Amino acid sequence: MVLRDIKYRDQSKICLLLTREYGQVSVILKGGRSAKSRIGPLFSPGNVIDAVLYKKGNRDIQFLSDASLVLSPLSESPDLDRFGVLYRVLDLIRYASTHEEKNVPLFTITHSAIWRLCHAERNFQTILAWFLLRLVGVLGFAPSLDRCVFSNADLASSIEEMKLDELLFVHDPGGFALPGSAVTMGAAIQTVPVNRYHFIRNLAATGGNAPCPAAPADDIAAVTALLQEYCARHLDRMPHRKHLDIVSRLISA
């Protein structure tokens, strides 16, 4: 999957890819910006491609000889909402993935998100919410959706028994809590209506290429904002990962 493409010299370009086998890989397409290039146009951000890669461990930038297109959300009719979600997904993956570190689950959810964006006609924000929930799970900090993070009480039965209209979302430790729980001092907490909690549960249960659940636009926007904040908090706390800044090195050369 093409995460980024950068112009290089007169007719070439350098692309950052997310690969199934090697994680992030940078490749150079010599003459890739030329009108005569057959494979150059395939390497646009968001495209999923099959490529023949000549990989050597002692090179920061790899070479490839052939490629074919598998999926392209950019080939659809122009849609700013679709493209906005696509580039948000690509930015998150660039930050969360690592140079030449294999992560098949991360590759899989990214492929699924792009597939959904290719085949959906609307509700692109729901796809982003679905992706964010999957991403935090793959990275190891999935929020607790079934039990209160403080009391360990079953949330579904407690909602029914206590006739609750809202729950608490706790950013650290991640997950939902019952109102009135003994909250850790300084914990970042948001109040979430029960219908939005159920929407998040339904998103979590949506696997494969199944359609994302429907919800009112306000609920989708609120849940997406909640998950983006949660994801940002935890990504910022991840151990530093060494990313090779290929572009700046080449420009300064």
Q: For residue 247, what pLDDT is reported?
A: 34
First to last CA, the chain: 27
Q: For residue 155, what pLDDT is reported?
A: 97
Binned average pLDDT, 10 residues per bin, the chain of 253 residues:
89 92 90 84 93 83 89 78 93 89 94 93 92 94 94 95 96 92 77 97 91 94 95 71 37 35
Q: For residue 238, what pLDDT is reported?
A: 56
Q: For residue 173, what pLDDT is reported?
A: 85
Q: How far is the C-alpha of 112 from the C-alpha of 131, rounded, in Å?
A: 9
Q: How far is the C-alpha of 100 from the C-alpha of 111, rounded, in Å?
A: 18
Q: For residue 125, what pLDDT is reported?
A: 94
Sketch out the chain's domains with CATH numbers: 2-139+238-252 (2.40.50.140), 155-236 (no CATH)
CA distances from 150 to 166, 178, 227 (A): 16, 8, 20
- 170 near 187, Cβ under 8 Å? yes
Q: For residue 186, what pLDDT is reported?
A: 67
